[in-house]
Amino acid sequence: MHVHEFVFMSIDNAPMPLRNYEGQPILLVNTASECEYTPQYEALERIWEDYRQSGLIIIGMPCDDFGHQEPGTEEEIAEFCRNEYNVSFLMTGKYNVMGLSAHPLFQTIREEFGDDATPRWNFYKYLFDRTGQMVDFWPSRVRPDDPAVTHQIECNLQSWVL
């Protein structure tokens, strides 16, 4: 699987082909605005600020699959993220990650890596290296600024060439 093969629509309804980020590590997170893990937006924004100049791409992907915790429209989600957490990293439109209506990326993750890699809740984190291969993934309870996550980010940034 190469993450660069997939396309999302941005939260502003513009095409977001992941091939635009070839050569850069990508941290993809399924997000929700009304979740106990929603404060992780702060850590994601901090990581974005710390590592974006080194090439890291962070993409938040709103998802309403778990507990109906992302009920808003894309416009409402974007406003919430800006106003409450000053989010400036990339955001996709709202997508499903479970079942037959899951975005093709998440269908592929399940097919290639099994149920353990499938999100069980909001704020699952997936790190892809600069070649588009999945390096690791972390469940909701693991914060984006956890040393296990930042260590993997730093290892993949060190392998990144300008």
Residue 63 annotated among the catalytic residues of the structure: no
Please tell me the distance from the alpha carbon of residue 47 to that of residue 82, in angstroms, as a whole number.
16
Please tell me the distance from the alpha carbon of residue 29 to that of residue 52, in angstroms, as a whole number.
16
Compute the chain's Rg from CA coordinates. Answer: 14
Residue 84 is given by DSSP the state: H
Please tell me the distance from the alpha carbon of residue 64 to that of residue 48, in angstroms, as a whole number.
24
Which member of 35, 63, 81, 155 is catalytic? 35
Q: Which amino acid is residue 33, in one-letter code?
A: S
- Cβ atoms of residues 95 and 62 within 8 Å: yes
Residues designated catalytic: 35
